[in-house]
């Protein structure tokens, strides 16, 4: 029999919260609620995210407790080999218009959770339901649960989906997402697709006031990401605004001390950002120019027989797909290597992952199960120039530098979906471009394997039990341990 914890767990995912601006906001008095949680709990400044560092992939890793090689949600933008098309969960308005608004809405709000997210893994909502515990999801795009419901699409979306009125979806028992569904009739959702930080906190407040708080609540706050893309990583004002809402949330309890006695609070970021250069011509890597002479698939239509490669740009990471028609993967890799702005170029072959770089010479190869171990007790066989991934080897132990948990994260991405593809990441300060891609010159972007985007903060208050390792992939088993005493 499962023993239920007497304390509900509330997990707030603050998109793009980063350690340095968080610490500055706390030190300068702009974030008293976060400061209180840090003082009364424990602060983890370098939790390791998944790869690519894009929200839907990270949320999938968080909710399933596995990387993309098992949950099968590769990135925000990827090529679907069986359907011969680009899947786009929402990288930018121009890209959405190119791939089709109707297709985007179907991919983002139906296919993502009900088709693309692997049925071979369970989300934390499904695990808890199987143990007789309830859960809630508020404004997160990955939310699959065991509760079947008919979702009535808002009128605006019906017009964009050729008149389709309803979807049959599976959610947690308590589910809130923008205008699709909300707990409180007084919650204002200015955006059709999701809420803002005030709406998200208001939904939690409603559950607390009505005494409906379940065993586990996950709540997404996306506003900070939008600000930092434009203003750069050191935007303190966005943190201050979110902290004010947290103060109101804690105000529902008789005291802030009572808030952490009543609940376990987890504040977690999903990814960081790397500052972008201010010269568009230099700092934006136009992949159509890199692959001049190749026949490149247009994402406005399905793949044609003549197409040789397809491109899926996720800001600072790109997937390059070899579609056939005489294209040689070796030539694609050589073309990428010619650009010194490209940091990591990786592919899988015969069970091994291979890495080269546009900046450094040499080849590094690895696979699981060898005589080398890392800090996460993962074992590897390695050969070649490990400096390509900034790895230091001492006494058969691997120490990660600029690319935390690099081997597991990189190899999982190369096994995340079907296809003959190469993963490339840009050096800090640079980002990739395909037709319609959003550009963040003089702002900030994410997506790569680098620690600037991969190391994120977490604050825990209300418990003295913590994850086995400081990685987002280890959060799910930890929460299950908190709630079921496993």
DSSP string, 10-75: EEEEETT--HHHHHHHHHTTS-HHHHHHHHHSEEEEEEE--SS--HHHHHHHHHHSS-HHHH----
74 lies in some domain: no
105 lies in some domain: no
Residue range 133-158: average pLDDT?
88
Q: Work out how many domains the chain is built from and give that number.
A: 2
Distance between alpha carbon 333 and the CA centroid of its chain, in Å?
A: 26
pLDDT digits (tens, 9 = 90+) for 63-115: 999 999 999 999 999 999 999 999 988 766 656 666 667 788 888 888 999 99
What's the CA gap between 423 and 226, in Å, rounded?
25
Residue among 99, 88, 73, 91 at smallest CA distance from 433: 91
Q: Is the pLDDT of residue 436 over 90?
A: no
449 lies in some domain: no
SS3 assignment, position 315: coil
273 in Cβ contact with 58 (< 8 Å): no
Residue 366 shares a structural domain with residue 473: no
Residue 1 binned pLDDT confidence (cut-offs 50, 70, 90):
very low
DSSP string, 106-173: HIIIIIIIIIIS-TTS--HHHHHHHTT--EEEES-S----SEEEEEEPPHHHHHHTTT--EEEEEE-S
146 lies in some domain: yes
88 lies in some domain: no
Residue 46 shares a structural domain with residue 168: yes
Residue range 384-390: average pLDDT?
97
Residue range 298-320: average pLDDT?
88
Evaluate the omega torsion of the peptide bond into residue 431 and state whether it is cis, within 30 degrees of 0.
no
89 lies in some domain: no
Q: Greatest CA separation found in the chain?
A: 70
Residue 148 shares a structural domain with residue 268: yes
pLDDT digits (tens, 9 = 90+) for 168-188: 899 999 999 887 888 877 776
CA angle 53, 358, 317 (to 5 degrees): 20
Residue 225 shares a structural domain with residue 350: no
Least confidently predicted of 224-228, 254-258, 469-473: 224-228
The pair of structure tokens assigned to 199 is 């709406």
Q: Which domain holds residue 212?
A: 9-68+117-274+454-484
pTM: predicted TM-score of the whole model, two decimal places: 0.94
Q: Is the pLDDT of residue 455 over 70?
A: yes
Q: Give whole-number Cα distances, 143 to 68, 204, 471, in Å.
A: 16, 16, 20
Residue among 398, 399, 461, 477 at smallest CA distance from 44: 461
Residue 391 shares a structural domain with residue 303: yes
241 lies in some domain: yes
* Helix spans in 414-454 (H): 451-454
DSSP string, 178-235: TTTB-S-TT---SSSS---HHHHHHHHHHHHHTT---SEEEEEE-HHHHHHHHH-TT-
Consecutive H or E run containing 79? strand 77-80
Tell me how crowded residue 289 is: count the other CB atoms within 10 A of its CB. 9
Residue 237 shares a structural domain with residue 335: no
* Residue where the block lists tokens 């997402």: 177
Residue 331 shares a structural domain with residue 242: no
459 in Cβ contact with 266 (< 8 Å): yes
Residue 19 shares a structural domain with residue 146: yes
Residue 199 shares a structural domain with residue 247: yes
Residue 438 binned pLDDT confidence (cut-offs 50, 70, 90):
confident
291 in Cβ contact with 282 (< 8 Å): no
Backbone angles phi, psi at 465, to 5 degrees: -105, 135
3 lies in some domain: no
Residue 199 shares a structural domain with residue 291: no
Residue 171 shares a structural domain with residue 251: yes
Least confidently predicted of 197-206, 229-238, 402-411: 229-238
The pair of structure tokens assigned to 54 is 């894009």
Tell me how crowded residue 377 is: count the other CB atoms within 10 A of its CB. 8
Residue 262 shares a structural domain with residue 284: no
């Amino acid at each position: 029999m499962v023993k239920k914890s007497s304390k509900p767990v509330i997990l707030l995912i603050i998109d793009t919260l980063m350690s340095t601006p968080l610490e500055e906001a706390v030190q300068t008095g702009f974030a008293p609620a976060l400061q209180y949680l840090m003082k009364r709990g424990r602060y983890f400044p370098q939790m390791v995210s998944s790869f690519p560092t894009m929200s839907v992939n990270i949320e999938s890793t968080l909710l399933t407790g596995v990387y993309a090689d098992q949950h099968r949600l590769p990135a925000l933008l990827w090529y679907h080999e069986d359907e011969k098309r680009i899947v786009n969960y929402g990288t930018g308005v121009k890209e959405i218009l190119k791939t089709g608004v109707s297709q985007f809405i179907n991919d983002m709000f139906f296919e993502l959770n009900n088709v693309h997210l692997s049925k071979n893994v369970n989300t934390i909502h499904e695990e808890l339901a199987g143990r007789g515990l309830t859960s809630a999801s508020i404004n997160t795009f990955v939310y699959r649960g065991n509760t079947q419901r008919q979702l009535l699409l808002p009128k605006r979306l019906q017009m964009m989906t050729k008149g389709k009125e309803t979807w049959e979806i599976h959610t947690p028992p308590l589910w809130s997402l923008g205008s699709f569904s909300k707990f409180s009739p007084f919650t204002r959702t200015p955006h059709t697709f999701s809420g803002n930080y005030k709406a998200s906190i208001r939904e939690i407040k409603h559950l607390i006031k009505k005494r409906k708080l379940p065993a586990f609540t996950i709540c997404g706050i996306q506003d900070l990401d939008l600000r930092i893309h434009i203003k750069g990583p050191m935007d303190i004002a966005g943190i201050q605004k979110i902290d004010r809402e947290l103060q109101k949330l804690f105000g529902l309890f008789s005291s802030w001390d009572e808030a952490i006695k009543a609940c376990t609070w987890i504040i977690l970021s999903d990814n960081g950002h790397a500052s972008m250069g201010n010269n568009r011509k230099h700092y934006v890597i136009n992949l159509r120019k890199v692959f001049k002479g190749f026949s490149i698939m247009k994402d406005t239509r399905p793949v044609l027989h003549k197409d040789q490669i397809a491109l899926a740009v996720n800001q600072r990471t790109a997937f390059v797909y070899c579609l056939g028609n005489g294209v040689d993967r070796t030539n694609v890799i050589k073309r990428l290597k010619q650009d010194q702005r490209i940091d990591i170029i990786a592919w899988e072959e015969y069970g091994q992952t291979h890495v080269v770089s546009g900046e450094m010479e040499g080849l590094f190869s690895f696979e699981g199960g060898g005589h080398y171990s890392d800090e996460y007790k993962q074992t590897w066989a390695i050969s070649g120039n490990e400096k390509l991934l900034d790895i230091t080897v001492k006494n058969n132990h691997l120490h990660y530098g600029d690319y935390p948990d690099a081997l597991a994260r990189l190899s999982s991405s190369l096994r995340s979906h079907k296809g003959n593809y190469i993963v490339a990441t840009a050096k800090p300060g640079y980002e990739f471009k395909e037709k319609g891609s959003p550009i963040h010159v003089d702002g900030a972007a994410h997506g790569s394997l680098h620690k600037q985007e991969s190391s994120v903060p977490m604050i825990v208050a209300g418990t003295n039990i913590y994850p086995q390792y400081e990685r987002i992939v280890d959060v799910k088993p930890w929460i299950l341990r908190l709630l079921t005493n496993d």
